[in-house]
Amino acid sequence: MASVFVTGSADGLGLLAARQLLAQGHAVTLHARSEERARAAQRAAPKAAAVVIGDVTSLEGMRTTARQANALGRFDAVIHNVGIGYGEPRRNETVDGLSQIFAVNVLAPYVLTVLMHRPARLIYLSSGLHRRGRADLSDPQWTSRRWDGMQAYSDSKLFDVWLAFGVARRWPEVLSNALEPGWVPTRMGGPDAPDDLTQGGETQAWLAVSDDPAATVTAQYFYHRQRRDPSAQTRNEASQDALLDYCAGLAGTALS
């Protein structure tokens, strides 16, 4: 039995992956941004070991989430599922003055990676839209560009792959991978999304616990439990390091 922490698991793909892991007999800790959503998550997955509460739109919320998770011990795997979509019609700013998409989709996974006890496996959710991402950190907060929600989201999903691969290089003892779940009919994906919802949660659960040689790899990118070639720009080590350094500056904590 493995112990797994799934961020952003009050609903959607995070909850789906959590339920699949619970059905396999693993110990799963959920994460929700508020007490209300935590209660809903507990009702949806009553066998969950615990629910960590923390609003990761703020740096303090990210740190609070990490502290609560650490109080539960070291996890075997952490699935960085938390994220927001591309439907924001304007640039929403967090209390820290950051673009909300960047804060939730990129900085939160970074901060939790740095501050939590180091697990054996890390899984970062990306998207096929990472291929539209711009490998440019000159304005990741969209302070000088005209807002484009789709581009901001695509950039964030490229950055998530940089995180996964950069961590894999710096922590060779940890299996750190990224994946795209497909365009599935969640609240984010919408009811007309064509991909299979069940498969949308399978890959992250599989990467978290499976002893299959295909799953016990690092610095790889997956779709429906199959390795897939990500955008070539995800393999740029200088870009990976630049993102890690940028996040370290925002968070005040560097990846060791």
Query: Mind telling me the catalytic residues?
Result: 153, 157
At 209 the three-state DSSP class reads helix
Contact indicator for 153, 85 with CB cutoff of 8 Å: yes
- Pure H helices in the chain: 12-23, 35-44, 59-71, 100-102, 108-115, 149-170, 197-209, 237-251
Helices 149-170 and 237-251, packing angle to 10 deg? 100
Radius of gyration of the chain (CA): 16
